[in-house]
Amino acid sequence: MKNTQVDKFTGRIVIGLDGSEGATRAAHWGAQEAKLRGRGLTLAYAVLPMTASGVFGMGAPPRLDLIEELRTSAVAELTRIAADLDCTDVIVHVEIGTPSGLLLQASDSAALIVLGSRGRGGFADLLLGSVGTQVASHANCPVVVMRATARAGANEVIVGIDGSPHSIAALEFAFDEASRRGWSLVAVHAWDVPAYDLIISPDGPIPFPLGNVADVEIRLAAEVLAGFKVDHPDVPVTEALVRAPAVQALLDASTNAALIVVGTRGRNVALGALLGSVSNGVLHKAKVPVAVVPLPEPEWDAA
């Protein structure tokens, strides 16, 4: 096991640990991913000491010896976890700060971040912890949130598509993952008819034939998938065109899912909800790991 902090994040699979059961699952999932990709693994932990309250409400900074004690304890725990992982290149990294700050910093150069869905202090009704929400929303690299371990034998990647640049990024990640792990891919294209008030013109409602909408959506799905099928002939692909809310369509398709993949945003508010809301909905309700894939920064201006 490596303990150096040189290139502790660059090109590596970074696991956000907090002592929870979900984080432990994330470590084992991430170790397998690192092995399949031929990349190193970094176990990351943020120490955030509690401040002591003063008489007038002002907090006193924690003692330096307490901070060092917490850091030493965290390093020992991460080292123990690392010893149980099936990965030879493991770095243990502990720093003072917030978990979300640490992982967002790591996302600038990491290949992938993996974390549990809820930390140790989460409320019972908070299905996705604040760290998971912040990191999945703002990371500069793909993030896998371990909602739960997929059932034994699950062998499908479910990916949402809508033709947007964000969904293209999700498709690329999903095809790579399916090819790497020998899984099949289910491309879910959910659509619906725009609400009446979205197709009103000053002169009255615009005719909006339902058959025309369906034909457009079928053609869009086929065009989006065509190039990926050529580049990944080893991946069996099923196309699912569903007239339904996107979140429900993705969850309904996930009965045999090993992973659900979504982009960070969608195409528009007329023929599909912004994928910000879709990814958030899937993250809160899925019962399998969920990957949220951001659009690479150079492509933002064109999106």
DSSP assignment string, 89-148: -EEEEEEES-HHHHHHHHTTT-SEEEEESS-TT--TT-SS-HHHHHHHHH-SS-EEEESS
Note the pLDDT of residue 149: 86
Whether residue 93 is found in the same domain as residue 189: no
Whether residue 20 is found in the same domain as residue 139: yes
Is the pLDDT score of 269 beyond 50? Answer: no
Q: What is the pTM (predicted TM-score) of this model?
A: 0.81
Residue of higher predicted confidence among 59 and 132: 132
- Which range, of 47-56, 82-91, 247-256, averages the lowest pLDDT? 47-56
- The verdict on residue 151 lying in a domain is no
CATH number at residue 125: 3.40.50.620
Enclosing domain of residue 288: 156-302
Is the pLDDT score of 206 beyond 50? Answer: no
Domain final residue pick, 124, 146, 168: 146
- Which range, of 24-28, 169-173, 238-242, 265-269, averages the lowest pLDDT? 265-269
Q: Say if residues 41 and 31 touch (Cβ distance below 8 Å).
A: yes
Domain final residue pick, 146, 166, 192: 146
Whether residue 276 is found in the same domain as residue 208: yes
The number of distinct structural domains making up the chain is 2
Note the pLDDT of residue 132: 83
* Residue 86, helix vs strand vs coil: coil
Note the pLDDT of residue 196: 44
- The verdict on residue 7 lying in a domain is no
Note the pLDDT of residue 221: 76
- The verdict on residue 2 lying in a domain is no
Q: Average pLDDT over the chain, rounded to whole?
A: 80
Note the pLDDT of residue 279: 86
